[in-house]
Structure 1
Amino acid sequence: MSVLPNPSAARQGRALLEARPLVVERGVSRHAEGSARLRLGHTEILATVSIEAKVPPHVRGKREGWLMAEYSMLPRSTQDRMNRERNLQNGRRHEIQRLLGRAFRVALDLSHFRNQTLIIDCDVLEADGGTRVASVMAGYAALHDLCDRQVKAGTLTDWPIRSPLGAVSVGLVGNDIRLDLDYSEDARARADLNVIVTGDGKVVEVQGGAEGEAIAPELYIELLRAGVGGAGTLLASLQRQL
């Protein structure tokens, strides 16, 4: 994957702790039960929700359904064409899918979907850093679209979302803590975290660490605090658009 040109202009006028503009549109797929397209700067994600009338063996007989997530990058989502992800053993993809699944299961009360499996597909249309955190928010928006449709149709009688989800990347580039890294910044970061929070500011997951050289615990906490604040700000923007 090629580094994007002109790293010095990467922030494009943003302050160090300012995220890129977030734009989301719901109901973009005619066929999916729920869908959303989300753009975070130049990173763009299409998320769809499908419902299957079955559950995996470990959920059978329980009073709740199941949720799983799939993640993929399209060949020209990057500057140079990448091969289609036909290898089911792709480690990075599986790591991101597990992250997404855990986050969405925190957000949704699956007792409203007994004997059903929700599959959230997050496809990267264009990548410029932060694809996994953008996928969290796109997938949440698609879930919101699904639930809104089903409540209005009378399929669901109660609102099943327990908490909205916000997410952001934060990193140490040089000596600066920067929020919402684009690709050129992420490639130079000494440390970076992906932070996912709920609507009341609680942490769902923190993923990441140092690159090449360990950092002090105090600096890690500073990164985490910046991430929690930034994820909350992006979530507020997302909520306004839903």
Structure 2
Amino acid sequence: MRADGRKPDEKRPISIETDFVRTAYGSCLIATGNTRVICTASVEEAVPPFLKGKGQGWVTAEYAMLPASTTERKKRDGIKKDGRSVEIQRLIGRALRQAVDLKALGERTITLDCDVLEADGGTRTASITGAMVALTCAAERLVREKKLPISPIIHQVAAISAGVIDDEPCLDLCYQEDSHAQVDMNFVMNEKGEFIELQGTGEGRAFTKKELDTIMEYGEKGIRELMDAQREALGDRARYIAPKPLLLVATGNEHKLRELQEMFKDYYTLAPMTAVGFFGPIEENADTFAGNAAIKAEAVCEATGLPAIGDDSGLEVDALDGEPGVYSARYAGEHGDDEANNDLLLSRMEGKEDRSAAFKCALALKIPGKETIIAEGSCPGTILTERRGTGGFGYDPLFLYEPMNKTYAEMNAEEKNQISHRSRAAEMMRSIMSQLLS
């Protein structure tokens, strides 16, 4: 029986509180048993001299045990850190660099500071596990602030200790166990079950292949459980770990971008074309939605070398011979003036008995080196005589979808994404994508 009553393959209880330090780019307080570590991520828009001009970033770490972290006061590190702290912070840095695509990070440095509040064994492994959470929080903020188009994190990383205590392999050693362990090991792994670092020492005696196999089995089990805890603590931010491939959207319309992001999240991470420095202009001179969508997707793909999706959509009214059609966004003259466009539509529909219309959408997907793919969708409706609803954009307040007796502007995002012209085009495009990516 272990000192704290745990089973041999049982890790200590873990808790992770994100955003523990509000001034940091990313942070958490991690507790594994009685070991507690504050992990913070700081971002600097520069790299060490040896990386200047190489188009890549850097991830480094610092580690320290605070004075009251042990039963006897530990002296603060001076200008010269003690050898143990230097060894551990190098381990943390090596481990977390394996989590990041340094070229995708760009020429900036992320420093991970791990400060031990209370030490009861496993401080280095808790630091690595917590630093991964802080790093992910920082990546999410870099994307949210539009400093990066996509998260640079390509792997999830966690670490745990194991060893042999009184001739029995055990997982996640507390200090009482670690201080007299016959064998002491540390595992650093990624989500694929690959080893990043494996440290093992026979401190009291040599160990057998059978013992090593058992310790490794325990270590892999513990890592999986720690990764579950990381993702649970991160919540929605966990999607910034190993995000799906980047797909640029050839639009500056935030409404369209949000709708498309929701529709294609199973296949790509969508970002606006401006996220990689492309601002256009793109001349939309085709006379069909499909033609304009292709122009936009191809222009962005050619300029950036990245996959791009273009959207062109609009309203076609039967009584107006298909107007406003491809001119929907600039019907009244100025591009994007929704109020003026709606006013003009209402005036031209005065006295019209036939008020049938359809929203139509064309999506164009351009992947470098491949032919442009087009998918189209349509949603039938009726033009009202006055606006209804406050949501949506464009002609949404005047477009009634009769099966729900709601205008687009009265629907919530979930309702609209089930029936809209854009969602129907997206469904067709997703079907095409699933075949391309299979």
Give yes or no for contact 1:196–1:228 (8 Å, CA) kept in 2.
no
CA distance in 2 between partners of 1:81 and 1:148 (Å): 37
Give the C-alpha shift of residue 89 in structure 1: 4.5
> Which one-letter code corresponds to 1:137 in the other structure?
T
Q: What residue number does 1:35 align with?
A: 27
Q: What residue number does 1:4 align with?
A: none
Q: What residue number does 1:10 align with?
A: 3
Q: What residue number does 1:164 align with?
A: 156
3-state SS of paired residue (2:104)? helix
Give yes or no for contact 1:203–1:228 (8 Å, CA) kept in 2.
no
Give the C-alpha shift of residue 45 in structure 1: 0.6
- Report percent identity of matched pairs: 39
Long gaps (5+) in structure 2? 235-438
> Which one-letter code corresponds to 1:232 in the other structure?
R
CA distance in 1 between partners of 2:81 and 2:64 (Å): 13
Number of residues of Structure 1 aligned to a counterpart in Structure 2: 234
Greater mean deviation of Cα atoms: 143-152 or 192-201: 143-152
3-state SS of paired residue (1:25)? strand
Q: 2:55 aligns with which of 36, 50, 63?
A: 63
Give the C-alpha shift of residue 155 in structure 1: 2.2
CA distance in 1 between partners of 2:228 and 2:81 (Å): 36
Q: Does residue 199 in structure 1 map to residue 191 in structure 2? A: yes
Give yes or no for contact 2:162–2:215 (8 Å, CA) kept in 1.
yes
Give yes or no for contact 1:193–1:209 (8 Å, CA) kept in 2.
yes
Give the C-alpha shift of residue 87 in structure 1: 5.3
CA distance in 1 between partners of 2:153 and 2:85 (Å): 26
Alignment of 1:57-206 (within 5 A): 57-86=49-78, 88-206=80-198
CA distance in 2 between partners of 1:223 and 1:96 (Å): 22
Which has the higher Rg, Structure 1 or Structure 2? 2
Greater mean deviation of Cα atoms: 111-120 or 35-44: 111-120
Query: Kindly tell me: are residues 207 and 234 of structure 1, through their superposed partners in 2, closer, same or farther at Cα, counting changes over 3 Å?
Result: same
Q: What residue number does 1:210 align with?
A: 202
Q: Does residue 23 in structure 1 map to residue 15 in structure 2? A: yes
Q: What residue number does 1:5 align with?
A: none
CA distance in 1 between partners of 2:13 and 2:81 (Å): 34
Q: Deviations over 1:189-235 (max 9, x none)?
A: 00011101111211111113110322223322332232122112211
CA distance in 2 between partners of 1:66 and 1:160 (Å): 11
Give the C-alpha shift of residue 36 in structure 1: 1.0
CA distance in 2 between partners of 1:45 and 1:15 (Å): 24
CA distance in 2 between partners of 1:22 and 1:89 (Å): 29
Structure having greater relative contact order (Cα 8 Å, sep ≥ 6): 1
CA distance in 2 between partners of 1:22 and 1:216 (Å): 30
Q: Does residue 48 in structure 1 map to residue 45 in structure 2? A: no
Greater mean deviation of Cα atoms: 173-182 or 104-113: 104-113
Give the C-alpha shift of residue 53 in structure 1: 2.2
Q: Deviations over 1:57-86 (max 9, x none)?
A: 221221211111000000101112111121
Give yes or no for contact 2:12–2:33 (8 Å, CA) kept in 1.
yes
User: TM-score w.r.t. structure 2 length?
Assistant: 0.52
Aligned Cα RMSD in Å? Answer: 1.5
Give the C-alpha shift of residue 9 in structure 1: 6.6
> Which one-letter code corresponds to 1:74 in the other structure?
L
